Structure 1
Amino acid sequence: MKILFAIAPDRFLDQEYTVPKSLFEEKGIACITASTIKGTCYGMHGEIVETDMSFDDVNTADYDGIVVVGGIGCQDYLWRCEKLIDIVNKFGNEGKVTAAICLAPAIIAEAGLLAGKNATILDTPASRRLMTLDKAVLVNEPVVISGKIITARMPQDSKAFAEAVVANL
């Protein structure tokens, strides 16, 4: 099994990447990381990640699911990243696990996958507006599973989020 992580090139939320990645690797799941760039990406709390590829090089057929990591960089770099939105749309339409945490569920909404479905997100005026515009049904729960779509609220939910992803692979 293989999971694609999508992170912002700057200010992704470290724990939302490291906690799921560690759990997946413990379970024997290969983890590949992509961003808007191939190279060095920086977490909000000091994590430094060398990505395996840029979004331009992603072939969804190579993966069993995608995990989009939040953080303030997610809003700044990924919310309007058409390439990532297209990738997320493909994962969802192929019936693969499509997961996002913190501010990242907005990308699943932008991909057209949350209309009429329960989801959660870190509640800010901007994130609430985006989710509402894309017709997601907001639920105030740590982790929400709607079929193969998994959303989580905040860094403290990283372990439960990762466990939900593993259970749905």
Structure 2
Amino acid sequence: MKVLLLLAKGFETMEFSVFIDVFGWARNDYGMDVNVETCGFKKTVVSTFHVPIIADKTIAEISMNEYDALAIPGGFEEFGFYEEAFDERFLDIIRQFHGQGKPIATICVAALSLGKSGILAGRKATTYHLGDGHRQKQLAEFGVQVVNEPIVIDNNMITSYCPATAAGVAFRLLEVLTNTEQMRIVKEAMGF
């Protein structure tokens, strides 16, 4: 199985790395057939706080049929996250995964990309919840039933409301792609 880890510039490093680590432990320590491939608009994607990551592929190089699931970390507006996360090419990838019924996992404000793509209309989801609730209000404007809970699952979509939920989202996606027992083995081995 292969997960596409889709990166918009300004993505949050902690929300990115959790997918690499959880699926890495599953594959390397427990022989689970789960791989992660990173992807961005450019080969080098600069994250929040200016950490560059070299992506495995660019958006132009990917074929949706190669992947079993999509994962998207959130990011910071101040670092240009929404410039790419709201780009039509980014949104089209989301729509294609959704159209094929494949699991989609987002952390924090990455749910706003799902909302903007139109796939969350009438569905339950969550996004960043602190401060004045601005991001949850923004998500609701896309016709989403916003649920103020750490992780919300609606059919094939997993959304969450802040960086603290990152590991939980990665474990839920692992569970969807393998099974509950295998996910628990990895979770316990990682000390969660």
Q: Could you tell me the TM-score, scaled by structure 1's length?
A: 0.90
Larger deviation: 130-139 or 81-90?
130-139
Q: How does 1:1-169 map to 2 (within 5 A)?
A: 1-9=1-9, 11-28=10-27, 29-38=34-43, 40-45=44-49, 47-72=51-76, 73=79, 75-123=81-129, 124-125=133-134, 127-169=135-177
Deviation of residue 59 (structure 1)? 1.1
Q: Distance in 2 between matches of 1:88 and 1:25?
A: 24
User: CA offsets per residue over residues 62-93 of structure 1, 9 Å max, x none?
Assistant: 00001111111464333321111000011011
Note the residue ranges of structure 1 that are not aligned, 5 or more in a row. Answer: none
Deviation of residue 52 (structure 1)? 1.4
Deviation of residue 47 (structure 1)? 3.9
Q: Distance in 2 between matches of 1:168 and 1:74?
A: 31
User: CA offsets per residue over residues 73-124 of structure 1, 9 Å max, x none?
Assistant: 4643333211110000110111101111111101111222111111010135
User: CA offsets per residue over residues 19-65 of structure 1, 9 Å max, x none?
Assistant: 12110122222111111212x22232464310112222221110000
Larger proportion of helix: 2
Are the counterparts in 2 of residues 105 and 121 from structure 1 also a CA contact under 8 Å?
yes
Q: Distance in 2 between matches of 1:65 and 1:48?
A: 24
Letter in 2 for 1:163: F
Q: Which residue pairs with 2:185 in the alignment?
A: none
Are the counterparts in 2 of residues 143 and 151 from structure 1 also a CA contact under 8 Å?
yes
Deviant stretches of 4+, over 6 Å: none
Larger proportion of strand: 1
Deviation of residue 129 (structure 1)? 4.2
Are the counterparts in 1 of residues 8 and 85 from structure 2 also a CA contact under 8 Å?
no
SS of residue paired to 2:148: coil
Note the residue ranges of structure 2 that are not aligned, 5 or more in a row. Answer: 28-33, 178-192
Q: Could you tell me the TM-score, scaled by structure 2's length?
A: 0.80
SS of residue paired to 2:109: coil
SS of residue paired to 2:106: strand
Q: Distance in 2 between matches of 1:74 and 1:131?
A: 18
